[in-house]
Each structure stands twice: as structure tokens, then as C-alpha cells.
Amino acid sequence: MKKILVICDGDTGNHFINRTIETHTSENIYYVVQRKAKEYENANPKRFKFYEFDATSLYKIANLLKMDFVQVIIAMENQLDVEHTIKNIRTIKKQLRVIVLDKWNLVSEDSNVIFINTNEILASRLLDYLPNVPVIAQNVGIGEGEIMEVLVPFGSSFVYRHVGVIEQKDWRIVAMYRNRKLIMPNRRRMIQPNDLLVLIGEPTVLKSVYKAIKRELGQFPEPFGSNLYLYLDMNIVNHSTVEEFVRRAVFAHKKLEHRLIIKIVNPNDISLLWKIKEFRSEDVDIDIEYDSSDLKEKFFEDIKVYHVGLIMVSKEMFEDFHMRTTLYESHVPVLKIADRSFSSVKDAALILGDNRDLEKISSTIFDISEQMSFNIELYNYMSEHQEDKEIVIEHYNNLSTIFSKSIKVIKENENPIKILRKKDNFVQLLPFTKKLTKRKIYSLLSTDSEKLYHKLDGYHQIFIPVQI
């Protein structure tokens, strides 16, 4: 049996005693000290011992402290009473753990005195009722945000997605509540509007997940970042087409209405640099890197410093194996701009594969298509593995209803890549997975449409990470 000393007075102290009485545990014995004793209903005399005296009296409290208590809880209304009571306890017990209800922002160098700040608790509880603010478990785990509760809004990017296709790296969906009933999640469970999700994971990761769940159309490039980043390595790009390439990137920037940073590395053509500088404006910045050492490290540093949500590169840069690997490791969407008009693009083409990666990036696809005014076309190659493809199609049809964005499902008996190569202009949207970082030679005999992305590299392509 563990003995706990409770020293209290006032309404808060009385409320605490009543709540303690309601807890059904037989493992603790509570010794309650009050300046003026009160009657408590349902108090079990075997568990609760009541004393009436002033705890600021060293003589009186010393007699009680002859017993071995595991901890003391102090909930008093007067600051001086609290300070003198702590002093009395420390005179008798040097290491006894003391929990203090703090209304005055008290401080102590004693590591065994823990202050529970009432202002922080009340403010935190009130925050739980604000819309669009994550509810974080305060008294579970370490209380730093590793357990979070999120209400899924109707227009959320997570609505009608299956739990199994949501990439959950460093976080997990551990419970769902629907109509005030607990539902244990499994891979085939579909998330619906107004579901309450309980998440666990790294606090910083959960903050990003929260933003992703709450995100609705019109937010891209969020939650990946807030700015656009045009990356130009002048050792790789075709100098004769750079000016037109930058012009197309600026057009995309105006459509998305986010700040654009043009980053130039390995500058080796002064006249070309001056032409690029002509694109500088109030929301277009130019950053020239003259030091060619540690370019990869500086690239990742820029991603953080500029809070990059979309990287734009040329066809030649994406073809470069090392550059493509670096882009993948950034976990940021990549727009590869081809040598075609970008302003005339009307359709976004999606080729359904044998996996369900397109479901993982569906909300981003709808968001991009909405902002860029693209029509969404799903190409379904009528071969084997139709079950997973039909699930993805159902998911896209559900999202099209939510976002009032029509989609077109095109059934093809012929390889869609051959069909698309006959099309005048479009942008292909596809998942950016690790298999796309492999060298082209390894995909020559593959039937995976994602590995064969380079068959359509004459068209604009957007590569979207499957992780949040």
C-alpha cells in the first residue's frame, strides 16, 4: 500500500479530493490535511484518513511526516502557505517528492518539487476547443505531442482513403472514432468525414500529419512546403533552351501563386545569367551559388531554409542519375518541365499501375489539377490485377464527388504509354518512389508503367512523394 499525503484547502482542493474518492483503486492510502475539515460522501475510511490542522506549523506536520509517504500533493489557495509548507516538508524529508498546484509561477532549484502551473493547464484545455488546432495528450506519454487526436473534415485529403495505403513512417493511426464508437483500424478500413483519429508518433512528424489531414484543395504545395524552387545546374542544362525553360517555370509559379526562388549553380555563362535575372520580380528571387563544393548538402539546406514545397527542373537534370536520386531524397514534389508549351496543357494523365501508390497521392493530384485547371484522366490498362485498380478508381470517384472535380476513366487494351505518346500535350502525374531512382537500363524489360516514366520524358511530368 502506498501512502500519499494531500495538503489542501479551497474549492480546487475539495474538488481534487472528490475526484480522488471516485477513482477505484485500492493500492493507495490518502492522508488528507486541511485547516478546516470537510465531510466527503463515499470516502472509504480504509483509504482516506482526514486531519484538521495548519500545515504551515512545523510541529504539527512533523508528527505526520514520521510515516513513509511516497509523495505529497499540495493544493492550497495562499502562496505563502504553500512556500512555508514546502519548507516544513524539506526540514523533515529531504528527498520526498512534492507535487504543487502552482497559481503564482513559483520556481525552485529542488528537482523533487514539481510545479503544476494552473494557467498553462487552463490555456491548454481551452486550446483543445479551438478549431484547426491539434488536441495533444497532456497526461499520457511524455506529453510533448507524441499522442494526438485529429478530427477529419469533410474536404480533407484523407477522406475515403484506406488506412493501408497511407504511408505511416514514424507515426501510426492507432484508433478511430465514428459516431462516438471506437473502431480499431486495419488496412482495409476506409476513413470517412468526421472520423476522429488517434495518432502516435514523433511530435514533429505528427504536426506535418495534422496539416496534411486538415488540408483542403487550394493549398498546394502545402503540406510539403510553402515556396517554389527552380534548380538550374548550368553544367547540365541545355543553354539554348534555358530561357524558355525559365519562362515556363514562371508561368507555373503564377498559376500556383507562391514565391519562386531560382537557384543557379555552376554559373558559367554571364550573358545567360543576365537573361535569367530579367525574370526577377517582387515574388521571384534569384540565388546564384558560385561555390561548387558540397552542392548536394547546400541543396538540402535550401529546402529547409526556403521551406520548399515544389522543385522545378529541366528534362536534362532529371535524366541525370545523381540529380534524380538527390531529388528523391528531398521528399518534395518535382515538376520536370519538358521542351513543350506549358500554358497549353489541359490534361493531367495518370496511368494505373499494379500497386495502389496513386491512392496515396490522390489529394495532391486533385489539388494540383484544381489550381492548374487540369482535367484528370485515369488510364486503366485492362490486364491482370484489376482488383487493386478498381479500388483506386473507386477512391478517385469518391474524391471527385467531394471536390466537385470531374475525372475521366479511360479503359485501354493497349499499353497506355503508347496511347499517350500520340497525344499532343499533357502533364503526367505519378508517385515518386525509390524505383524511379534506378538507372534506365534496369527498366528496359519492365512492364511497370512507373519505371517506364522516361518513355514519356518528352512531356511535362510531376513526381509526387508517397510520404507526407
Dihedral sign for Cα 18, 19, 20, 22, please. Answer: positive
Whether residues 118 and 7 share a domain: the answer is yes
Indicate the pLDDT class of residue 143, thresholds 50, 70 and 90: low
Residue 208 lies in a domain: yes
Domain with residue 351: its CATH number is: 3.40.50
Q: What is the mean pLDDT of residues 139-145?
A: 69
**Integer Cα distance of 443 and 454 in angstroms:** 10
Burial class for 367, CB neighbours closer than 10 Å (0-12, 13-18, 19+): buried
- Asked if the model's pLDDT at residue 439 lies above 90, the reply is no
- Asked if the model's pLDDT at residue 182 lies above 80, the reply is yes
Whether residues 351 and 376 share a domain: the answer is yes
Q: Which of 62-71, 192-201, 432-441, 444-453 has the least mean pLDDT? A: 444-453
Whether residues 394 and 436 share a domain: the answer is yes
Beta strands 334-337; 460-465: pairing state: antiparallel
Please report the pLDDT score of residue 132 as a whole number: 67
Cβ atoms of 357 and 450 closer than 8 Å? yes
Cβ atoms of 161 and 192 closer than 8 Å? no
Please report the pLDDT score of residue 384 as a whole number: 62
At 105 the three-state DSSP class reads: coil
**Integer Cα distance of 24 and 226 in angstroms:** 50
Name the grid cell of 89.
Answer: 516538508
Last residue of a domain, one of 156, 179, 214: 214
Question: Rounded to 5 degrees, what are φ and ψ at 391?
Answer: -65, -40
Whether residues 207 and 176 share a domain: the answer is yes
Name the grid cell of 195.
Answer: 472520423
Average pLDDT over the chain reads 88
Residue 222 lies in a domain: no
Q: What is the mean pLDDT of residues 273-282?
A: 93
At 87-103, the pLDDT tens digits run 999 999 988 999 999 99
Question: Can you give the length of the chain in residues?
Answer: 468
Whether residues 90 and 135 share a domain: the answer is no
Residue 195 lies in a domain: yes
Dihedral sign for Cα 321, 326, 329, 334, please. Answer: negative
Other beta carbons within 10 angstroms of residue 386's beta carbon come to 14
Max Cα-Cα span within the chain: 95
DSSP secondary structure string for all residues of 49-98:
EEEES-TT-HHHHHHHTTS--SEEEEE-S-HHHHHHHHHHHHHH-SS-EE
Domain with residue 201: its CATH number is: 3.30.70.1450
- Asked if the model's pLDDT at residue 460 lies above 90, the reply is yes
Within the chain, how many helices (H) and strands (E) appear? 14, 21
Whether residues 48 and 101 share a domain: the answer is yes
Last residue of a domain, one of 313, 337, 361: 337
Please report the pLDDT score of residue 51 as a whole number: 93
Checking 134-139 for CB contacts under 8 A at 24+ apart, the result is: 134/206, 134/207, 134/210
Q: What is the mean pLDDT of residues 275-300?
A: 92
- Asked if the model's pLDDT at residue 217 lies above 70, the reply is no
Residue 221 lies in a domain: no
Indicate the pLDDT class of residue 79, thresholds 50, 70 and 90: very high
Residue 418 lies in a domain: yes
Burial class for 100, CB neighbours closer than 10 Å (0-12, 13-18, 19+): buried
Whether residues 355 and 328 share a domain: the answer is no
Indicate the pLDDT class of residue 262, thresholds 50, 70 and 90: very high
Whether residues 47 and 102 share a domain: the answer is yes
**Integer Cα distance of 110 and 312 in angstroms:** 55
Q: Which of 135-139, 176-180, 433-437 has the least mean pLDDT? A: 135-139
Q: Would the pTM of this model clear 0.75, i.e. be above it?
A: no
- Asked if the model's pLDDT at residue 309 lies above 90, the reply is yes
Name the grid cell of 333.
Answer: 514534389
Q: Domain range for residue 160? A: 128-214
Whether residues 385 and 417 share a domain: the answer is yes
Whether residues 106 and 25 share a domain: the answer is yes
Please report the pLDDT score of residue 382 as a whole number: 79
Q: Which residues contact 309 (CB under 8 A, 6 or more apart)?
A: 220, 221, 222, 224, 225, 226, 227, 228, 258, 332, 333
At 21-34, the pLDDT tens digits run 887 666 789 999 99
Percent of the chain with pLDDT over 70: 95
Residue 115 lies in a domain: yes
At 314-354, the pLDDT tens digits run 999 999 999 999 999 999 999 999 999 999 999 999 998 87
Residue 391 lies in a domain: yes
Please report the pLDDT score of residue 138 as a whole number: 67
Q: What is the mean pLDDT of residues 409-432?
A: 90
- Asked if the model's pLDDT at residue 301 lies above 90, the reply is yes
Give residue 110's identity as a one-letter amino acid code. D
Domain with residue 268: its CATH number is: 3.40.50.620
Last residue of a domain, one of 179, 214, 249: 214
At 371-407, the pLDDT tens digits run 898 999 999 887 766 777 888 888 888 778 767 788 9
Q: Considering its fold, how many domains does the chain have in total?
A: 4
At 357 the three-state DSSP class reads: helix
Whether residues 209 and 245 share a domain: the answer is no
Checking 206-211 for CB contacts under 8 A at 24+ apart, the result is: 206/134, 206/145, 206/146, 206/148, 206/171, 207/134, 207/145, 208/468, 209/148, 209/150, 209/171, 209/468, 210/134, 210/148, 210/150
Residue 152 lies in a domain: yes
Domain with residue 34: its CATH number is: 3.40.50.720
Whether residues 205 and 239 share a domain: the answer is no
